[in-house]
Amino acid sequence: MDQNPGPDAAQRVDPALVARRIDDRRRQLGLTEEALARQTAMAPPYLRHLMEAGPAFDPAAFVRIAAVLRTTYGELLSGRADAPPGQGGAGTRPLLLHLTEPECWDRVGTHGIGRIGLPTRPAPAVFPVNYTVDARTIVYHTSAHGTSAPADGSPVSFQVDHIDESLSRGWSVLILGRAQYVEDPDEIARLKELPGSTPWAGGGRDLWVRVRPDETSGRRITSG
């Protein structure tokens, strides 16, 4: 969002949501309400009044608040554009339902970005990877000495999900299996033609890994 949205944007926002963002950010920075008031050159009662009235009452004051909180006026109004999913909270009467295996593969689709879980020491590690689906296996392309490269034949997990913030709905698919190196040149040439086979991270990535599932499960959250 524009860091300096116009006055119409201030009129449209919910003051309670803006106040919650300010309080969350203030606590994240370790600031008391009194410290925030002092650093924005406001009396504490006026700051509380602003939180109740919203940005439309005094936009310039909220610009000062944003500066002290090391964010932008636009992010106070609408939230961070790159915030992790789940900022909107749970929906009304949420239901947690299990997905069948065909439903899991339907949601995984043909390609995308998921997370590979590896049995590393001192604890398991999880890394994002670009994946391609090939005959109900997961294939990804990485560096032979990179962090997301498992040992050939090692047990791994793969997870992919999607969150719909506006409806407070989402799904998650988990695949448990074993990693298998793809070394046949003809097979590698074929995989390179599949959608999603080029890693976003770029660089030299000479190892192709196929995850052969032993178990596929999934869940989805919807509203009752």
Q: Tens digit of pLDDT for each residue in 189-221?
A: 999 999 888 888 777 788 999 999 999 999 999
Q: Tens digit of pLDDT for each residue in 101-118?
A: 999 999 999 999 999 999
Half-sphere exposure of 41 (CA within 13 A, CB side): 5
176, pLDDT greater than 50: yes
38, pLDDT greater than 70: yes
Within a domain: residue 84? no
- Confidence at residue 2, expressed as pLDDT on a 0 to 100 scale: 47
Percent of the chain with pLDDT over 90: 62
Q: Give me the residues paired with residue 111 across strands.
A: 132
- Confidence at residue 223, expressed as pLDDT on a 0 to 100 scale: 79
Considering the domain architecture, whether residues 16 and 100 belong to the same structural domain is answered as: no
Residue where a domain stops, chosen among 48, 78, 108 = 78
Considering the domain architecture, whether residues 22 and 116 belong to the same structural domain is answered as: no
∠ Cα 217 220 224 (to 5°): 145
79, pLDDT greater than 90: no
> Residues 161, 99: contact at Cβ < 8 Å?
no
Within a domain: residue 164? yes
19, pLDDT greater than 60: yes
Closest CA to 210 of 218, 190, 202: 190
Lowest average pLDDT, out of 59-63, 133-137, 181-185, 201-205, goes to 201-205
Domain limits at 193?
Answer: 94-223
Task: Tell me the C-alpha to C-alpha distance, in Å, between residue 185 and each of 120, 153, 171.
Answer: 29, 19, 36
- Confidence at residue 91, expressed as pLDDT on a 0 to 100 scale: 76
Within a domain: residue 110? yes
- Looking up residue 200, the CATH number of its domain turns out to be 2.30.110.10
What lies within 8 Å, CB to CB, of 99 at 6+ separation is 107, 171, 173, 217, 218, 219, 220
The CA distance from 199 to 142, in Å, is 8
Give me the helices (H) in 79-219, please. 101-108, 185-192
Considering the domain architecture, whether residues 152 and 213 belong to the same structural domain is answered as: yes
84, pLDDT greater than 80: no
- Confidence at residue 62, expressed as pLDDT on a 0 to 100 scale: 93
61, pLDDT greater than 70: yes
Q: Tens digit of pLDDT for each residue in 156-172?
A: 999 999 988 778 889 99
Considering the domain architecture, whether residues 100 and 70 belong to the same structural domain is answered as: no
Number of domains in the chain: 2
**Which tokens belong to 201?**
């991270």
> Residues 157, 117: contact at Cβ < 8 Å?
yes
The band of 1, judged by pLDDT with boundaries at 50, 70 and 90, is: very low
Give me the helices (H) in the chain, please. 7-12, 15-28, 33-39, 44-53, 59-68, 73-78, 101-108, 185-192
The CA distance from 104 to 90, in Å, is 22
pTM for the structure as a whole: 0.70
Considering the domain architecture, whether residues 145 and 58 belong to the same structural domain is answered as: no
